[in-house]
Amino acid sequence: MSFPKHFLWGGATAANQLEGGWQEGGRGPSIDDALPGGKQRLNIVADPNFDWTIDPSKYTYPNHEGIDFFHHYKQDIALFAEMGFKCYRFSIAWSRLFPQGTEENANENGLAFYDDVIDTCLEHHIEPVITLSHYELPLNLAINFGGWKNKELITFFKRFADTVIERWGNKVKYFLTFNEINSAAHFPVLSQGMVGDTPKKAVFQAWHNQFVASAYAVQTARRVNPEIQMGNMILYATSYAYNANPVNQLANLQHNQDFNFFCADVQVRGEYPAYTHRYLAEFGLTEADLDRTPEELALLKEYHVDFLSFSYYMSSATEITGETKDTVAGNLMGGVKNPYLKASDWGWQIDPTGLRIALNELYDRYQVPVFVVENGLGAHDKVEADGRIFDSYRIDYLREHLKAIEGALEDGVPVMGYTPWGCIDLVSASTGEMSKRYGFIYVDLDDEGKGSGARSRKESFAWYQRVIATNGANL
Ligand code: BGP
């Protein structure tokens, strides 16, 4: 079966990882500006002494400088158009519109920037797909409000989301509320703005507050323009039981409930799943430990999302019986090593078949359209003496994952589109490195921010251009 006629081919980025211009146009600092780059980046999750003060003099490249999209967006969007993008997924930096997160009115300079980004997309017939919040809470809301565990953030987010949807909801049809909302199970710092040894109770409360905030955004979209399609966004890593031992099968089922499904169950179905009490109990908590009002629960029920979007990079395996000690070095979610899979240079296990399984599992469970809004291979690219970049490994990775999507379409899953991650090289979320590259477009910057910043087309650029031009017939 071929890809549907209006399949949304495109690419995905996030403001904090590419925009730069971090002190321009009245933008305030976000949590990402204060995070260290390099290997220690996510270790701060467990560091109770992490010094999270607003001190721009100590910010190190590259989190806040990105690839300077702020000054190159016209050129970059033109390159996306040259590849034939039908859509472009990007995020709005909350602190560009509300520098401290608490202001009553949005910053006009920030609005003007996104006016132009959106109009530039539309001039190129590229449909914007906007992520409202992608790992860049205004720093003030983390330091002085304690991040998402604080219910006041619902009000601040509502103001931000209302501003975005009211301003652009007649030009933009697709919005996602929170990027990889479930990733807080592992990294509450990025998606919930909470550092130190975060108690699980805070993570669950923060999730609840984000669910409510997300439902408010859906409510606003319904009011502004009924044509708008609202999506949630989860990190999905297909998970297998390591073997046929029923104990491992049960552990895997519960892992899937807790990690892959919990947030989506609330955001798509509109209510907490039956296993919530079991999940909470794993951490010594009960449902009474959460502050959830009847009005909030009614809001979740009424304003659930229209479609489900997810990132897919890897699969994992569950084994609790101690039959193997082989863990996967670097796999983002840990787990044991799957002997049937190879891994990327960062240890992420590559599994295209797992994407077909993911699409089926998600559609079977939710019965709403699904959108693959991130996928890709982080790799070290080599620039040849003549400036060319041969990234056949990236083409192979993407081709196999597209075949998996084709398979899922054959299975009857309504897949809306495909936006590979980091369609232009940008800063890595987990490591803060520039040298972990995903793009079709190379950006001449290294891990210290040295380089010309010039853009060039990799081998994969022409490949993806052909894929889109043939609507996936020629992979
Ligand atoms: C997802 C995030 C992105 C992104 C991507 C690749 O988890 O939504 O922001 O960066 O993963 O991860 P990394 O940059 O760590 O390689």
CA–centroid distance, 284 to ligand 1, in Å, is: 31
CA–centroid distance, 337 to ligand 1, in Å, is: 21
Query: Exposed (0-12), middle (13-18) or buried (19+): which is 422, by Cβ within 10 Å?
Result: buried
Nearest protein Cα to ligand 1, atom 16: 428
Is residue 373 lining ligand 1, measured as CB closer than 6 Å?
no
ipTM over 0.85: yes
Is residue 14 lining ligand 1, measured as CB closer than 6 Å?
yes
All structural domains of the chain, each given as residue ranges with its CATH number in brackets, are: 8-469 (3.20.20.80)
pLDDT digits (tens, 9 = 90+) for 175-193: 999 999 999 998 888 899 9
Compute how many other C-beta atoms are within 10 angstroms of the C-beta atom of residue 124. 16
Ligand 1: atom nearest CA of 14 is: 9
pLDDT of residue 60: 65
Quote the CA–CA distance of 24 and 26 in Å, as a whole number: 5
Quote the CA–CA distance of 393 and 399 in Å, as a whole number: 10
CA–centroid distance, 160 to ligand 1, in Å, is: 23
Quote the CA–CA distance of 407 and 187 in Å, as a whole number: 32
Average pLDDT estimate for 15-43: 86
Name the helix (H) or strand (E) containing 178.
strand 174-178
**Among all residues, which ones are annotated catalytic?**
374
Record the pTM.
0.97
Average pLDDT estimate for 368-387: 98
Nearest protein Cα to ligand 1, atom 10: 429
Ligand 1: atom nearest CA of 235 is: 7
Is residue 138 lining ligand 1, measured as CB closer than 6 Å?
no
CA–centroid distance, 216 to ligand 1, in Å, is: 26
pLDDT of residue 299: 98
Q: Which of 362, 324, 332 is nearest to 350 (CA)?
A: 332
Reported as half-sphere exposure (CB side, CA atoms, 13 A), residue 444 has a value of 12
Is residue 374 lining ligand 1, measured as CB closer than 6 Å?
yes
Average pLDDT estimate for 314-338: 85
Following DSSP, what letter does each residue of 295-361 receive, concatenated? HHHHHHHHS--SEEEEE----EEE--SSS---B-TT-TT--B--TT-EE-TT-PEE-HHHHHHHHHH
pLDDT of residue 302: 98
Q: What CA–CA distances, in Å, run from 422 to 180, 192, 407, 429?
A: 15, 22, 24, 11
